Amino acid sequence: METKILGYRRENGRIGIRNHVVIIPVDDLSNAACLAVEHNVAGTLALPHPYGRIQFGADLELHFKTLIGAGRNPNVAAVVVIGIEQNWAKRIADGIADTGKPVAYFGIEGYGDLKTIERASRKAQEYVQFATSLEKVEAELKDLVVSFKCGESDTTSGLAGNPTAGVVGDRLVKLGGTVIFGETPETTGAEHVLAKHFATPELSQQFLKVHAEYMKLIESKGADLLGTQPTQGNIAGGLTTIEEKAFGNIEKAGKTPIIGLLAPCEEPTKPGRYFMDTSSAAAECITVMMAAGAVLHIFITGQGNIVGNPIEPVVKMSANPNTCAYMPEHIDVDIKGVLSRELTLDQAADKVMDCVVKTARGRYTDAETLNHKEFVLTRLYPSA
């Protein structure tokens, strides 16, 4: 199996497979300025979002962690941060700066949009010329952090898609790589089984506690997973209970032990398989995993989820024959042969690994070619 890839070695030694210059707004008020810089300077990527004002506590901390993590991601070469208030822009820039990559920040107060846009555009131009002068280096798959999620799941997800993803994850870990999966609510009904996959009894108990707290939060709002999970798409695909969905979902865990339990946006500290405490919302989940340093995402879909991410390329795989036939522009890897027994799980995993290597060497994913750039921040509670 080919494991050689081409990537960009960052100042801290990490390997990225894309080379973005991102323009990060601290808050919703700064979106316009960031988009103006993107318009002015070719090769820049603005990350507009609707939040960042009057947040507090853990919600504000997660906001900062997500924006800082986006800038720290190895797929990013350089960063310009713009905020209405300079001190918050500096906080984000400082969190990115210890990676060693170029980062600058600008506050709009005292300058206004036009002067800020001019100043930021000049710095962005400098950064784009820096980034485009970088040359790719040869690296290995084990140098990458790869994340996993499933969405619009159906019976084919649990029978073929997620088991194939489990094999792929096992292979990456065996090579010495790092993989992340999550979706805490969608382990409900199978959480006791997933707990056995953790490397130590202590980690197992930590996971069960995290799951219980998530369920308590949902129930405290008067909600019931039976009202939202499975989704209408899941039901149409043959999943009738959250337990059925969960047992399919945890197939992504594969056979290698889970060595760590991560909070959203938390970076893994060493190679291996990790579980991240995330929601089940596709774009939110990918965003926090990207903010933890994942440079490539493998997304398993049954009914046909179309999500992408602006920083982390999303490779989609499906075992649903209808989805592969009617939504081919969204499916990078067709593994429907697993259900017809034309492919074994190992052969399906070979196809996924081949696509992963090609993507890591520069191939655009379907989501990238279709301009899917869903950058979605997670909110914990209302603003003050």
The whole-number pLDDT of residue 282 equals 96
Closest CA to 20 of 67, 80, 64: 80
Please give the average per-residue pLDDT across 69-90, as a whole number: 98
* Higher per-residue pLDDT: 218 or 309: 309
Q: Which of 46-55, 89-98, 218-227, 299-308 has the lowest mean pLDDT?
A: 218-227
Please give the average per-residue pLDDT across 157-172, as a whole number: 96
The whole-number pLDDT of residue 229 equals 59
Q: Could you tell me if 338 and 345 are in contact, meaning their C-beta atoms sit under 8 angstroms apart? A: yes
Tens of pLDDT, residues 6-19: 999 999 999 999 99
Please give the average per-residue pLDDT across 275-280, as a whole number: 95
Percent of the chain with pLDDT over 70: 96
Tens of pLDDT, residues 306-335: 999 999 999 999 999 999 999 999 999 999
28 pLDDT more than 60: yes
**What's the mean per-residue pLDDT of the chain?**
95
50 pLDDT more than 70: yes
d(CA 45, CA 366): 18
Q: Could you tell me if 315 and 296 are in contact, meaning their C-beta atoms sit under 8 angstroms apart? A: yes
Q: Which of 162-166, 211-215, 286-290 has the lowest mean pLDDT?
A: 211-215
The whole-number pLDDT of residue 232 equals 65
d(CA 169, CA 141): 12
Q: What is the DSSP letter of 158?
A: I
| Domain residue ranges of the chain, discontinuous segments joined by + | 20-131, 141-369
Percent of the chain with pLDDT over 90: 87
The whole-number pLDDT of residue 381 equals 87
223 pLDDT more than 60: yes
The whole-number pLDDT of residue 275 equals 98
The whole-number pLDDT of residue 108 equals 98
Tens of pLDDT, residues 173-191: 999 999 999 999 999 999 9
139 pLDDT more than 80: yes
CATH class, range 20-131: alpha beta
d(CA 133, CA 330): 32
d(CA 56, CA 28): 16
Tens of pLDDT, residues 331-365: 999 999 999 999 999 999 999 999 999 999 999 99
Q: What is the SS3 assignment for 86?
A: helix
Which two structure tokens, joined as six digits, stand for 60?
């504000």
227 pLDDT more than 60: no
Phi first, then psi: give them for residue 233, nearest 5 degrees: -65, -40
Q: What is the SS3 assignment for 255?
A: coil
The whole-number pLDDT of residue 243 equals 82
Q: Structure pTM?
A: 0.95
281 band by pLDDT with thresholds 50, 70 and 90:
very high
Tens of pLDDT, residues 94-107: 999 999 999 999 99
